[in-house]
Amino acid sequence: MITINDVAKLSGVTTATVSRVLNGGKNVKKETMEKVLDAIKKLNYKPNKIARNLAKGRFTESTIGVILTVAIYPFFYNILKGIYRGLSEQNYNILIFNIGKNRKEVFEHIVKENLSGVLIVATGISEEEKMLFQIHNMKFVYLDFFEENENSIFIDNYLGGNLAANYFISKNINKIALVGEDRKTQQQENRFLGFKDVLSKNGINIKTERHISFMENMPYSVHGKESYKITKELIENTDIEGIFYYCDELAYGGLKAKKELKSSIFIIGYDDLPSSRYFKLTTIRQPAYLIGYYGARNILNVIKTSNMVPIKKCISPKLVVRKT
């Protein structure tokens, strides 16, 4: 590594002078300046920001980390947008981490960064990871994820499930299927539980439940195609009247099957992504943007107040009735 010492030696001055040049060249003779600049170029010297910031006593943190798993889906994008808005307002920057692969390494990297706090999107972290954060006094807020005793801004997925079930009941639909992913996420568990609970209260049992195998490294649309196949099969081989999908993108696949087979099956999604409006999909709306925005405001709050009582913010989803 080329340091200020190397530059000083090559240009025949002390590091003090090199430093002066680096800082704008006030009080430096023109010729000296040129010599130094020359040496910098020759050595392709790049000042070390870390050292400089330490020397200058610049310890202000104005960056919030955002921890994402795998890809940015449209839903997460809206969360991100909200975060961006909330953080920009307070002149904070966003540092995005992807913990999809090398999770452990990335976590160790995160605590080395000069961060004010961290926003964790749609996933929980292990006790070990929490410990790591604690040692480094790194505050965090969960987004779209609930955990007792932690700061979390989340959506009432159970209620979302209720809403979907009530919609079917209002339409007098009894033969119902569920289509989701095969990985157990908090979001899906609660949605489906809320859905089933309302149904059983009304004496209805789910006819069948299908789970698409989740593929981490694929664009999510691949799952939509799986959903299309499954729906087709369901329509052809069963007397199902309605399907509740884990999310809109899965429902889109269902819509395609429905159309192709000219079926009159009822379909309900979850998320209310932008496209759902144009597909006229009946769905449960989650205000993703708000989650992000609240998240941004709250992490800033947590940092400032070093609050002991965890922040809990539960957002209610809404039924959006369209034509499916």
Partner DNA sequence: CTGAAAGCGCTTACAG
> Is the Cβ of residue 76 or residue 142 nearer to a copy of itself in the bound state?
76
Question: Least distance in Å: CB of 44 to DNA?
Answer: 12
Distance CA 321, CA 270 (A): 12
> Is the Cβ of residue 169 or residue 303 nearer to DNA in the bound state?
303
> Residue 274 binds which entry of a copy of itself, DNA, none, with Cβ cut-offs from 5 to 8 Å by kind?
a copy of itself
What angle is formed at CA 194 by the lines to CA 190 and CA 196, rounded to 5 degrees?
Answer: 115
> Residue 237 binds which entry of DNA, a copy of itself, none, with Cβ cut-offs from 5 to 8 Å by kind?
none
Query: Which strand ranges, in their side-by-side order, compose the sheet holding 242-245?
Result: 208-212, 176-181, 242-245, 266-268
> Residue 166 binds which entry of a copy of itself, DNA, none, with Cβ cut-offs from 5 to 8 Å by kind?
none
> Residue 321 binds which entry of DNA, a copy of itself, none, with Cβ cut-offs from 5 to 8 Å by kind?
none
- Locus of tokens 């499930």: 161
> Is the Cβ of residue 14 or residue 88 nearer to DNA in the bound state?
14
Backbone φ, ψ for residue 69 (5° rounding): -95, 150
Question: Least distance in Å: CB of 88 to a copy of itself?
Answer: 4
Hey, is 68 helix, strand or coil? Answer: strand
What angle is formed at CA 181 by the lines to CA 180 and CA 183, rounded to 5 degrees?
Answer: 140
**By CB under 7 A, is residue 3 in contact with DNA?**
yes
Sketch the per residue contact string, 26 through 65, with DNA: x for CB under 7 A, - otherwise: -xxxxxxx-------------xx--xx-xxxx-x------
> Is the Cβ of residue 4 or residue 234 nearer to DNA in the bound state?
4
62: Cβ contacts below 8 Å, ≥ 6 apart: 91, 92, 93, 116
> Residue 63 binds which entry of DNA, a copy of itself, none, with Cβ cut-offs from 5 to 8 Å by kind?
a copy of itself
**By CB under 7 A, is residue 208 in contact with DNA?**
no
Q: Nearest CA to 40 among 13, 71, 69? A: 13
Q: Is residue 193 packed enough to be buried (19+ CB in 10 Å), middle (13-18) or exposed (0-12)?
A: middle
Distance CA 132, CA 31 (A): 51
Pure H helices in the chain:
4-11, 15-22, 30-43, 49-56, 74-89, 103-110, 127-135, 157-170, 186-201, 221-237, 248-260, 274-279, 288-305
Hey, is 42 helix, strand or coil? Answer: helix
> Residue 20 binds which entry of a copy of itself, DNA, none, with Cβ cut-offs from 5 to 8 Å by kind?
DNA
Stretch that binds DNA, among 22-30, 254-262, 265-273, 297-305 (CB under 7 A): 22-30
Q: List residues binding a copy of itself (CB under 8 A).
A: 1, 22, 44-54, 58-59, 62-63, 71-72, 77, 80-81, 84-85, 88, 91, 93-98, 100, 102, 109, 112-114, 135-137, 274-275, 277-279, 306
**By CB under 7 A, is residue 15 in contact with DNA?**
yes
> Is the Cβ of residue 23 or residue 102 nearer to DNA in the bound state?
23
Q: Which residues bind DNA (CB under 7 A)?
A: 1, 3-5, 12-20, 22-23, 27-33, 47-48, 51-52, 54-57, 59
